[in-house]
Amino acid sequence: MVAELGPSIKAGTAREAASADIVLTAVRWVDLERASQGLPVCNGRIVIDATNPVEFIERVGHFPVDLGVLNVGEPLASLPFGSLAASNLVKI
Q: What is the mean pLDDT of residues 82-89?
A: 58
Q: What is the mean pLDDT of residues 68-85?
A: 60
Contact 45, 88 (CB under 8 A): yes
Convert the pLDDT of each residue in 11-31 to its tens digit.
Answer: 888 888 888 888 888 888 778
- Mean pLDDT score of the chain, rounded to an integer? 76
Q: Where are any strands of DSSP class E within the chain?
A: 22-25, 46-49, 54-57, 61-64, 88-91
Name the nearest CA neighbour of 53 among 31, 83, 24.
Answer: 31
Comparing 3-12, 33-42, 57-66, the range with the smallest average pLDDT is 57-66
pLDDT at 4 (0 to 100): 92
Convert the pLDDT of each residue in 54-73 to its tens digit.
Answer: 777 777 766 676 666 656 66
Burial of 9 (0-12, 13-18, 19+ CB in 10 A): exposed
pLDDT at 25 (0 to 100): 82
pLDDT at 85 (0 to 100): 47
